[in-house]
C-alpha cells in the first residue's frame, strides 16, 4: 500500500532501475573480497580487529547516510524560512511515529546476519561463500509462502532443489592434506617427556609473541599470525546468515506493503539503523567483547581494508532496502549471478583459489537456479493486482441508518457513487408524492388512495 508514493519519494526515478544491478554487483563482489582479505591479512599492530565493532560502525555509517538523505528530503518540502531545529523535530517525529516499531524485528535479524557473515568469510573462500549464500532464496521463498501466501510452482521447487545440490557440490571437501584446521593441528601436539623435547619446544616458541606462558595464549598468537579456515564453521555461519537475512527481507517487505501511510525509504533506512545500533553496541561490543575493548581499545587492528569493508557493507544494506521497496528482483538476481562470477575470478587472482570439478559444476548449478528461480509469477501477480482507489462516496449512508424504514429497496452496487441531493424550499413532501413538480410558492396537496377523479367532480358540483 502506498508503493507508488514511495517510489516517487525516494527520488531515484527510472535511473535506479537501469543501474541497480551494476551497483549491487560491485557491492556484493567488493564486500566478499574485502571482508575475507581483512580477516586473513597480517593484522595491524599484531592484533586482529573485533568483528563486533565493525558491525557497530556499519550501522553508524548507514544511519549517517540515511539521516543525511532524509533530512535533505524534508528540507526540499519545507519553506526556506524554517529553522534547522524545526526540520530536525519534524524528522524525529516522522521517524518514531506510526509503525516504526515494527522495524525492530528485521533490524535485529539484519544485525545477526551481518555478524554471521564475518564468521563465514573468516572460514570460507569468498567464492564459496557467495555460492553458499544463495541458500537465502529458499528462506525467502518459504517465508513468502507463509507471510504473503505466495504459491511456489513445481518448476521453482525443482530449481530450489538444484540450488541445494549445487551448494553441496561446492562445499564438498577436496581431501587436500595441506589444508588442516587449528583443532587438527593442536591434536598432533604432545606433552614433552624428556629434556631434549623441552628444549625443542622452547626453541620452537622463540618466534611467538611472549604474551602468555600458557598454551591458550600460544594458540591465540598462532591463530592471529596464521589464521586457518574451518569449512564446517563457515558453512554453519552462512546458513545462519541466510536464515536471518531472508526472514528480515521478507518481513521488511511486509511492513512496506501493510503500511497505511507512505513513508520514504530513506526514513525506513534510518529506522532500521536506529533499531540496529542498540543491540550491536550493548550486546556485541559491551557484553561480548567488553573486556577486549577495554584492554586493547575500540580501534585495535583497524586499517584501510577494515574501513573499506564497513563502508561497502553500509552502502549494500541501503541498496538492498531499495531493491525490496522497488521489487527489483530481476536486477538483484542478475547482480547476484554476476557477483558469483566476479568473486570467483577475484579469489583465483588474490587468494589462489584452486578450481575443482565439483566447484565448477556446483557453481554452474547455483547460477542456473539463481537466474531462473525468481520467475515472473510473483511480479505478474503484483502487476495484475487492482489499483487501490478510495472507497465509494456514500453521502446518504447516515440517512439510511437513521431512517431505515424509509430506505429505498433498490440499493446501489458497491462500485457506484450514490449522492443524495439536499432538500430545497421548492421541493416539498407533497410535491414529491406526484409525478409532476410543484409550482414555485404553491403547495400541492397529495392525492389520497380513497379519492378519485369522479369523487372530486361531484364535490365540485355540490359546492356550486
DSSP for 193-219 reads -SHHHHHHHHHHTTTS--S-SSHHHHH
Instruction: Assess whether pLDDT exceeds 90 at residue 280.
Output: yes
Range name among 12-16, 27-31, 134-138, 282-286 with the lowest pLDDT average: 12-16
Query: Are residues 114 and 12 both part of a single domain?
Result: yes
Query: Are residues 314 and 428 both part of a single domain?
Result: no
Domain that holds residue 445: 423-464
Query: Are residues 358 and 246 both part of a single domain?
Result: yes
Instruction: Assess whether pLDDT exceeds 60 at residue 190.
Output: no
- Average pLDDT (205-217) is 46
pLDDT digit string (tens) for 300-313?
A: 889 999 999 999 98
Query: Are residues 92 and 13 both part of a single domain?
Result: yes
**Confidence at 440, pLDDT banded by 50, 70, 90:** low
> What does the pLDDT read at residue 422?
47
Instruction: Assess whether pLDDT exceeds 80 at residue 464.
Output: no
Q: How many Å from the N-terminal Cα to the C-terminal Cα in the chain?
A: 76
Domain final residue pick, 384, 413, 444 = 384
> What does the pLDDT read at residue 459?
58
Looking at the 3D structure of the chain, how many domains does it have?
3
Q: Which residue has better confidence, 232 or 397?
A: 232
Residue 217 lies in a domain: no
Query: Are residues 253 and 158 both part of a single domain?
Result: yes
Give CA–CA dist 206/37, Å, rounded. 28
Q: Which residue has better confidence, 240 or 436?
A: 240
> What does the pLDDT read at residue 310?
93
Give CA–CA dist 128/152, Å, rounded. 27
Cell triple for 277: 545500533
Q: What percent of the chain has pLDDT over 90?
A: 37
Instruction: Assess whether pLDDT exceeds 90 at residue 142.
Output: yes
Residue 343 lies in a domain: yes
Instruction: Assess whether pLDDT exceeds 90 at residue 151.
Output: no
Contacts of 288 (CB under 8 A, 6+ apart): 52
Residue 168 lies in a domain: yes
Q: Which residue has better confidence, 410 or 298?
A: 298
**Confidence at 18, pLDDT banded by 50, 70, 90:** low
The C-alpha angle with vertex 6 and arms to 67 and 414, in degrees rounded to 5, equals: 145
Instruction: Assess whether pLDDT exceeds 60 at residue 169.
Output: yes
Query: Are residues 36 and 119 both part of a single domain?
Result: yes
Instruction: Assess whether pLDDT exceeds 80 at residue 271.
Output: yes
Query: Are residues 367 and 408 both part of a single domain?
Result: no
**Confidence at 161, pLDDT banded by 50, 70, 90:** very high
Instruction: Assess whether pLDDT exceeds 60 at residue 389.
Output: no
Query: Are residues 130 and 267 both part of a single domain?
Result: yes
Range name among 103-112, 172-181, 227-236 with the lowest pLDDT average: 172-181
Give CA–CA dist 249/332, Å, rounded. 13
> What does the pLDDT read at residue 394?
52
Query: Are residues 326 and 398 both part of a single domain?
Result: no
> What does the pLDDT read at residue 107?
93
- Average pLDDT (417-431) is 45
As a whole number, the mean pLDDT across the chain is: 74
- Average pLDDT (341-356) is 93
Residue 207 lies in a domain: no
**Confidence at 418, pLDDT banded by 50, 70, 90:** very low
> What does the pLDDT read at residue 72?
85
Range name among 182-191, 263-272, 388-397 with the lowest pLDDT average: 182-191
Instruction: Assess whether pLDDT exceeds 70 at residue 137.
Output: yes
**Confidence at 434, pLDDT banded by 50, 70, 90:** very low
Query: Are residues 444 and 341 both part of a single domain?
Result: no
> What does the pLDDT read at residue 225?
54
Instruction: Assess whether pLDDT exceeds 60 at residue 364.
Output: yes
Residue 221 lies in a domain: no
DSSP letters for 315-369 = HHHHHHHHHHHHT-HHHHHHHHHHHHHHHHHHHHHHS-PPP-HHHHHHHHHHHHH
Query: Are residues 159 and 50 both part of a single domain?
Result: yes
- Average pLDDT (194-217) is 47
- Average pLDDT (247-266) is 86
Give CA–CA dist 179/25, Å, rounded. 30
Q: What percent of the chain has pLDDT over 70?
A: 62
**Confidence at 12, pLDDT banded by 50, 70, 90:** very low
Query: Are residues 175 and 269 both part of a single domain?
Result: yes
Residue 193 lies in a domain: no
- Average pLDDT (338-345) is 94
- Average pLDDT (94-112) is 89
CA atoms within 13 A on the CB side of 203: 5
Instruction: Assess whether pLDDT exceeds 90 at residue 44.
Output: no
Instruction: Assess whether pLDDT exceeds 50 at residue 246.
Output: yes
Residue 237 lies in a domain: yes
Contacts of 194 (CB under 8 A, 6+ apart): none
Instruction: Assess whether pLDDT exceeds 60 at residue 455.
Output: no
**Confidence at 315, pLDDT banded by 50, 70, 90:** confident
Instruction: Assess whether pLDDT exceeds 70 at residue 75.
Output: yes
> What does the pLDDT read at residue 119?
95
Residue 201 lies in a domain: no
> What does the pLDDT read at residue 241?
96
Q: Which residue has better confidence, 186 or 151?
A: 151
Instruction: Assess whether pLDDT exceeds 80 at residue 187.
Output: no
Amino acid at each position: 500500500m502506498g508503493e507508488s508514493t514511495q517510489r516517487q519519494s525516494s527520488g531515484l526515478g527510472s535511473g535506479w532501475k537501469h543501474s541497480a544491478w551494476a551497483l549491487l554487483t560491485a557491492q556484493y563482489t567488493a564486500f566478499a573480497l574485502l571482508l575475507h582479505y581483512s580477516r586473513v591479512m597480517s593484522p595491524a599492530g599484531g592484533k586482529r580487529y573485533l568483528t563486533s565493532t565493525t558491525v557497530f560502525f556499519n550501522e553508524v555509517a548507514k544511519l549517517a547516510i540515511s539521516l543525511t538523505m532524509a533530512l535533505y528530503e524534508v528540507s526540499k518540502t519545507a519553506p526556506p524560512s524554517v529553522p534547522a531545529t524545526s526540520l530536525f523535530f519534524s524528522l524525529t517525529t516522522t521517524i518514531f511515529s506510526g509503525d516504526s516499531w515494527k522495524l525492530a524485528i528485521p533490524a535485529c535479524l539484519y544485525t545477526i546476519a551481518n555478524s554471521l557473515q564475518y564468521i563465514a568469510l573468516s572460514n570460507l573462500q569468498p567464492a564459496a561463500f557467495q555460492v553458499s549464500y544463495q541458500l537465502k532464496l529458499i528462506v525467502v521463498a518459504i517465508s513468502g509462502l507463509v507471510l504473503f501466501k505466495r504459491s511456489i510452482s513445481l518448476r521453482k521447487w525443482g530449481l530450489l532443489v538444484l540450488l541445494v545440490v549445487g551448494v553441496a557440490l561446492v562445499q564438498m571437501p577436496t581431501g587436500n592434506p595441506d589444508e588442516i584446521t587449528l583443532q587438527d593441528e593442536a591434536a598432533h601436539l604432545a606433552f614433552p617427556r624428556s629434556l631434549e623435547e623441552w628444549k625443542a619446544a622452547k626453541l620452537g616458541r622463540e618466534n611467538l609473541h611472549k604474551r602468555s606462558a600458557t598454551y591458550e595464549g600460544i594458540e591465540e598468537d598462532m591463530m592471529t599470525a596464521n589464521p586457518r579456515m574451518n569449512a564446517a564453521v563457515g558453512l554453519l555461519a552462512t546458513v545462519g546468515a541466510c536464515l536471518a537475512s531472508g526472514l528480515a527481507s521478507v518481513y521488511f517487505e511486509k511492513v512496506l506493503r501493510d503500511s497505511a501511510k507512505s513513508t520514504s525509504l530513506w526514513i525506513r533506512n534510518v529506522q532500521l539503523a536506529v533499531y540496529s545500533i542498540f543491540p550491536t553496541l550493548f550486546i556485541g561490543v559491551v557484553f561480548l567483547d567488553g573486556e577486549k575493548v577495554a584492554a586493547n581499545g575500540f580501534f585495535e587492528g583497524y586499517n584501510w581494508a577494515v574501513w573499506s569493508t564497513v563502508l561497502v557493507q553500509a552502502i549494500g544494506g541501503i541498496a538492498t532496502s531499495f531493491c525490496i521497496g522497488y521489487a527489483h528482483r530481476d536486477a538483484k538476481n542478475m547482480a547476484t549471478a554476476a557477483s558469483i562470477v566476479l568473486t570467483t575470478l577475484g579469489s583465483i587472482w588474490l587468494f589462489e583459489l584452486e578450481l575443482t570439478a565439483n566447484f565448477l559444476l556446483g557453481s554452474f548449478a547455483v547460477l542456473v537456479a539463481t537466474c531462473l528461480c525468481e520467475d515472473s509469477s510473483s511480479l505478474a501477480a503484483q502487476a495484475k493486482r487492482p489499483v487501490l482507489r478510495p472507497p465509494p462516496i456514500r453521502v446518504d449512508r447516515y440517512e439510511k441508518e437513521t431512517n431505515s424504514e424509509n430506505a429505498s429497496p433498490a440499493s446501489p452496487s458497491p462500485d457506484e457513487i450514490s449522492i443524495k441531493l439536499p432538500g430545497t424550499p421548492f421541493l416539498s413532501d407533497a410535491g414529491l408524492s406526484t409525478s409532476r413538480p410543484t409550482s414555485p410558492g404553491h403547495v400541492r396537496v397529495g392525492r389520497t388512495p380513497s379519492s378519485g377523479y369522479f369523487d372530486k367532480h361531484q364535490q365540485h358540483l355540490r359546492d356550486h
